[in-house]
Structure 1
Amino acid sequence: MKTVAVVGTGAIGTSVALALSRRGLTVHLEDVNATAVRTAEAMGAGSVGAPAERVDLAVIAVPPAHTGPVLGQLQRRGVAHAYTDVAGVKTRPYDDLRLAGADPSSFIGGHPLAGTERLGPLAARADVFEDRPWILTPTARTAQSVLNRALELVSLCAAVPVIMDPLVHDRTVARTSHAPQLISTLMAATLVDATESDLRVAGQGLRNVTGPAGGDPGLWRDVFTANADALADVLDTYAADLGRAVGALRALGHTDGTVRERAEAELDGLLRLGHRGRARVAGAASGAPAAVRLSVAVSGRPGTLARLFGAVGELGGRIEEVRLESAQDPPRGNVSLSVPRTSVADLFRLLRAGGWTPNVVTLPDAPHRATRPAGPGEPVAAEARADEAG
């Protein structure tokens, strides 16, 4: 990939452009906001103006409500061979694309899980995506070449590709991002009428909870609108638990000792559930298996990467890096991944069933890189390489 168009020069779009320009790509910048796009250009993110000929990839960095219309417009102009976006909601662009009668094969949804509370190009950083997940949401109609371009984009930005179904993505981020944002906002809203003396004694906990509420209200309104049903489902569950907490707190002052004991047990149960959930977020859940890193050589034949990603996903693993040599036809390269230590044998079986043969294992505690053939079911914990058969 040599040429890219970035449409939208806010913090994320400009960060993408900076990362790609740093890697030597030619980047064309577009934005309806003349000040923003000129600022991004002055920062070294690329050059302002539409490309003279079709670029390899167009990255759409506009709010979710505008992603579909902008995508349709770019396709009609023939700006790029492939298109992706960075919006936080993934089903809506596909719906808009279908309603517009545009070509779904050249588009793949994308969502880098990185950013900043600050807005505009001046908040951009070329390294903001490094080692951060970047979700890609191909569908059955996404061309393999488009998936390959998106994977190359993620690699050039030093991010970690994660493949998800668009609907699953929206349900997931409703729980992990959108609901926390709205809950933080509602908590912050209770402080509007707080007295100055109240705020002077506010602790770190309040600052932590209300921190996300500082995000741009207009942007979050668009996100919530585009993902309303999934977000409402998460909040239904949260509201039920909140109701249980309120009921338990009210009952703590009851004159009946049995009622008080039930209320204490209810409150204790909610607190313990929260503690367990927080431990999972922090990666500190007891008994979590150690991760094993592997490298798999693949070709860009249709369906190859999708099959591999599916196999890794079945075992609770994750893709860490994808490097494809697009100059070859079909493209070939390596996929670095990690899986729980306890899933290594199962992964090897799935790789063999999918047409790959694991053939080298690096032992974990060796003083140097000693390699030998992999034994089926062997509990290794370092790096293995599997070359695609055929």
Structure 2
Amino acid sequence: MTFRKISIIGTGLIGGSIALSLKQSKGYDFIITGFDIDPSSLDIALELGAINKKANSIEEAVNDADVVFLCTPIKEILQQIHIVSKHAKSGTIITDVGSVKKIVLKEAEKIKNDVYFIGGHPMAGSERKGISSADPFLFENAVYVLCPNFNVPIKVVNEFIELIKLTGANIILLDPEIHDGIAGYISHLPQLIAVLLVNTVGSMGTDYLSLSGGGFKDLTRIASSQFEIWHDIISFNREKIIEALDNFINGLSKYREIIKSNKIGELKPEFDNAFKLRNEIPSSRKGFLNVLHDVFIMVEDKPGVLSKISTALYEGGLNIKDIELLRVREGIGGTFRLSFGSENEAKKATEIISKLGYKIFTR
């Protein structure tokens, strides 16, 4: 890989997480320069070790950079593309992390031909914001969509893919318009539904929200996302979002009519189909690529349990791809989900963990 000098424009959650992820990549010595309109964000990024140095301007940040990540709201990205391309050296790759791709790629067609633009969308995030919430493992097993501009040689694309793989993400190449359509349904529509659901329940009074359980909280977690980011996303993907909303509203109207007519049995096929489709989405990955194999472990609430299990798996030569605490009751115990890269690894893990005396099952 020929890349060494990386610039991050916008050292918030996504930009900071990309920087931290690249910084921890073994065998590489990236020099990362950061620029942000918020000086305190740069200070924290430097303190965390996400960047090597701070820049006072975009022009300074991209000077001599091999790769430039634009990690700002889409409206700013559309402006920064031109600033960066004007001051970047020949052969520099410019990429973004915006949730809408068609308008960004259209704007990138206007830049000079001796730099390359590869649109990007890491399909991972958090309701939190800011460099303080940056996580080097944010993109682990997440889908990272790439939309190269028409003039980017395949050799350059492949080399950039190798760089992104260092974040732990799974790469998929998509046409920008196809990306925006999919994102409208699986990302932008759920955001609006979560916001409306919280506001609908909240309008009934605080007693309603105070009684909400884990299901409601899981369903509405993203309602805490910042509108400043979503303003541009909704604005620039209006057509696809309206299409998704129309289809969802039609579905709600259908359900309302079924319930109003007291034909509840007609909802059974809907539940059955949703169950089938939902189970086809692997819980062990973020996105829709590279299926992982799950092992579920029931453990007692005792200190050192997870360490004991992970040590045994390490000694058995196994690498845990993903881990999640599914449920827990303090003082009693809980269930962990461990994910592995192959069926054989999952079987071997089952054998190792069973010998430790823990109840285990697979799916």
**TM-score (ref. length: structure 2):** 0.71
Amino acid paired to 2:5: T
Q: Does 1:157 align with 2:159?
A: no
Distance in 2, Cα, partners of 1:52 & 1:160: 27
Partner of 1:31: 36
1:21-40 deviations in Å (ceiling 9; x for gaps) = 23320001111121212221
Q: Does 1:92 align with 2:92?
A: no
Task: Write the mapping of 1:1-390 to structure 2, written as runs, cut at 5 A.
Answer: 1-23=3-25, 24-46=29-51, 47-49=53-55, 50-51=60-61, 53-78=63-88, 81-98=92-109, 100=110, 102-103=112-113, 106-252=116-262, 263-282=263-282
What is the Cα-based RMSD across aligned positions, in Å? 3.1
Q: Give 1:152 shift.
A: 2.4
1:242-288 deviations in Å (ceiling 9; x for gaps) = 11011111111xxxxxxxxxx3343223323322232222469xxxx
Q: Give 1:114 shift.
A: 2.0
1:129-172 deviations in Å (ceiling 9; x for gaps) = 22322111124332334313421221222222111111111111
SS at match of 1:190: helix
Distance in 1, Cα, partners of 2:218 & 2:201: 14
Q: Give 1:104 shift.
A: 9.1
Distance in 1, Cα, partners of 2:62 & 2:237: 36
List structure 1 runs of 4+ shifted beyond 3 angstroms. 100-105
**Alpha carbons 2:105, 2:149 under 8 Å: kept:** no
Partner of 1:378: none
Identity of aligned residues (%): 24
Aligned length: 285
Structure 2 alignment gaps of length 5 or more: 285-289, 293-320, 322-341, 348-363
Amino acid paired to 1:60: L
Change (3 A) 1:36 1:52: closer
**Alpha carbons 2:7, 2:32 under 8 Å: kept:** yes
Q: Give 1:177 shift.
A: 1.1
Distance in 1, Cα, partners of 2:266 & 2:112: 53
Change (3 A) 1:68 1:145: farther
Q: Give 1:291 shift.
A: 7.0
Partner of 1:313: none
1:209-258 deviations in Å (ceiling 9; x for gaps) = 22110111121122111211111111111111111011111111xxxxxx
Distance in 2, Cα, partners of 1:199 & 1:35: 35
Distance in 1, Cα, partners of 2:144 & 2:19: 15
**Alpha carbons 1:104, 1:142 under 8 Å: kept:** no
**Alpha carbons 1:112, 1:134 under 8 Å: kept:** yes
Partner of 1:316: none
- More divergent stretch after superposition (265-274 vs 119-128): 265-274
Distance in 2, Cα, partners of 1:9 & 1:53: 17
**Alpha carbons 1:17, 1:27 under 8 Å: kept:** yes
Change (3 A) 1:43 1:279: same
- More divergent stretch after superposition (200-209 vs 221-230): 200-209
Q: Give 1:75 shift.
A: 0.3
Amino acid paired to 2:177: L
Distance in 1, Cα, partners of 2:208 & 2:61: 55
1:354-383 deviations in Å (ceiling 9; x for gaps) = xxxxxxxxxxx9xxxxxxxxxxxxxxxxxx
Distance in 2, Cα, partners of 1:144 & 1:221: 34
Distance in 2, Cα, partners of 1:104 & 1:265: 62
Distance in 2, Cα, partners of 1:291 & 1:197: 41
Q: Give 1:201 shift.
A: 2.1
SS at match of 2:240: helix
Amino acid paired to 1:87: G
Amino acid paired to 1:18: L
Change (3 A) 1:39 1:129: same
1:275-310 deviations in Å (ceiling 9; x for gaps) = 2232222469xxxxx979xxxxxxxxxxxxxxxxxx
Amino acid paired to 1:272: D
SS at match of 2:95: strand
Distance in 1, Cα, partners of 2:151 & 2:131: 33
Amino acid paired to 2:129: L
Q: Give 1:51 shift.
A: 4.7
Partner of 2:339: none
Change (3 A) 1:291 1:269: closer
